[in-house]
Structure formats: structure tokens, C-alpha cells
Structure 1
């Protein structure tokens, strides 16, 4: 599904384009992105082309390229995925390029994607999971208005090939929206 363009604060969120392939490939060479990816990251330009196709064409996914609103530089990605209209549920995933980390990019983009999903889709609950060891994702979840719900034991195989325990967070459509700067 192709999502609309969003402009949360100084960020731009737009649908992915074919000309994003080189920036996507470069960002996915980062060791942190590769570790916390379910696939181990993107190891070739062909992999980046395939990932772009998935981000753009999955029927149960709305994915945005997160860019600097002034320069257009790719800062990251956010996707509302596994959208289940019958249950009213979805999941959210995201990553940020190294230069964007620690600047509030991920919480702002995740919050904007959740607000859009709650307004535009038959969704009332969005889940966010991350490896226990990924403390940065815990900070993103908390800042983006998610509530910690529990620990899932050996629930997901990450880029290191190991099944990690994950922390489960959720945001409901009637939860108070977070107060984010910008």
C-alpha cells in the first residue's frame, strides 16, 4: 500500500522511490542495522532493489522513507506492517541511519506513522517488538507513546543468526499521544 506523505516536525516521510536504492544500500551496511535486521541486512545492490520492492508493494504494509525535511537526505525508515483489519492490529518497524541516531528521528517518525494508521486504517492496536539487548529501541518505544507489556522468550532470529528474547510494547488508538519536540 502506498502511504501519503507526512511532515512531522523537521522530517519528511514519503513513499519509497526507485532512486532511493543507493542510499538504502549505504544505510544498510551499518553494523547496527545489520545486527537488528531479521535478514542480516542488505549485502548487495540487488538485495536493496528487492527490499525496496517489498517496501513498496506489500499489501499489508505502509512504508515510508524518513528524510531530512530540508535536504532530502535519507535518515531512516518506518513501516506499519502485518496489518490485520479483522483483529484491528498491526506492527511497526523502523531503523535509522547512523547520522540520524540520537536526534529524535525514530520516535517522531514512529509516532507520525501510528497517528496516520489510527486515522486511516481499521487499526486500534500497534505492537512494537525489539531484542532485549537493543536499548535504543526501548527508548524509541517509550518516547513514541508505547506501553511495555512483556517479554517474549526466544521469539525472533536477528541478523546475528541467534533467536533473541524480545520486549513487547503496544500503543492503542485511545492512548494519550506522546509529547515530542518539534
Structure 2
């Protein structure tokens, strides 16, 4: 699976590479990403370690892909299936500031979700986001993830605070 590449119009989802580290460092320093993603990436060496960890799928519990522009290779974001076990998984993502508002996250999430159902045989994929993260709620809805409820103070985000989360999910049988 190390050579997995998925396409969707305008995007290439591909494995992480060491040369992505500078763009990852810049993206994760963005306050909008840092607020909702607890990452300990403060220098280039930590960004390289982050990229390598994301690129190591050997445990079979996650698949993480760089989301890039399909023409020039610019890093636009990240999309990952994680907590893969017993036919279930969870999906996560972030979008670099210059790519926001262009449907990048919803297209990447939709594509990786379809791959997870088709290739991994997953039955259920969950998506959680802080209730205050309205952009993530729009991504979930556009990608066909139904809102199932609110998880009270269920996760400590990058801002250091526990937030209520929306739980969205898709089933392989959803249309």
C-alpha cells in the first residue's frame, strides 16, 4: 500500500515524502490548523518525523496521505483513515490556508472514504470535529457523513481545551 495514489479532479492523494516536511511545518504553524489539531511539530526535524510517522502504514491501523495539487504538486492538506479495526475506521483531515474554500477537504475525504469502503472493506467510518469548527462540519456534510450526535467535552484540541464534538458517520450501505 506504500505506493497508493488516489485521484479526484484537481487533486492527487499520495503517500507522504520527506520533502513534504517544510510545507507540513508551515501548515501546522497556521493558527487555524493548530487550534483544532494537537501536533508537536515546532521545527524541521519534528516535521520530518511527523511525515515519516504518517507515511508508515506497517501496523495496518492507519493510512495517511498528502493531498496535493494534481498539476504542480503543491501540498494542499492531509487526509487519513485511522483507528482501522474490525471493519470500522475514523477519518481526519486538514487543509492548508491557501487551499481553503475550494472544496479540497470534502473531495479528499469523499475519495478516501470510498477507497476505505471499497478496498479495505470497511463498514463504518466516523468523523469527529469540535462543535465550534463549523468548516469541518461543512466538510462532513458535503462528504456524506450524517450527524449522529454530540459527544460532550470528549477531546482536548490543540488549543488545550476540551470541546464538545459532533459525531458524524458513514456506512458502506449509505447512498
Please state how far the C-alpha of 1:51 moved relative to its aligned partner. Answer: 1.2
Distance 2:38 2:150 in 1: 18
SS of residue in 2 equivalent to 1:7: strand
Question: Does residue 135 of structure 2 align to residue 109 of structure 1?
Answer: no
Match of residue 161 from structure 1? 160
Question: Does residue 17 of structure 2 align to residue 17 of structure 1?
Answer: yes
Residues 36-83 of structure 1, C-alpha deviation per residue, up to 9 Å, x if partnerless?
A: 0033x5222122122112211142111110001111100000000000
Are the aligned partners of 2:17 and 2:52 in contact in 1 as well (CA < 8 Å)? no
Residues 136-168 of structure 1, C-alpha deviation per residue, up to 9 Å, x if partnerless?
A: 000000000100000000100001111111000
Aligned positions, number:
173
Please state how far the C-alpha of 1:3 moved relative to its aligned partner. Answer: 6.0
Distance 1:143 1:64 in 2: 20
SS of residue in 2 equivalent to 1:169: strand
**Structure 1 residues 2-11 or 16-25, which shifts more?**
2-11
Match of residue 143 from structure 1? 142
**Structure 1 residues 42-51 or 67-76, which shifts more?**
42-51
Distance 1:134 1:111 in 2: 19
Distance 1:38 1:172 in 2: 27
Q: TM-score, normalised by structure 1?
A: 0.91
Distance 1:47 1:29 in 2: 12
Distance 1:47 1:133 in 2: 28
Distance 1:3 1:61 in 2: 14
Please state how far the C-alpha of 1:174 moved relative to its aligned partner. Answer: 1.4
When the two chains are superposed, the root-mean-square deviation of aligned CA atoms in Å is 1.2
SS of residue in 2 equivalent to 1:16: coil
**Structure 1 residues 20-29 or 128-137, which shifts more?**
20-29
Are the aligned partners of 2:30 and 2:97 in contact in 1 as well (CA < 8 Å)? yes
| Stretches (4+) displaced over 6 A | none
SS of residue in 2 equivalent to 1:28: helix
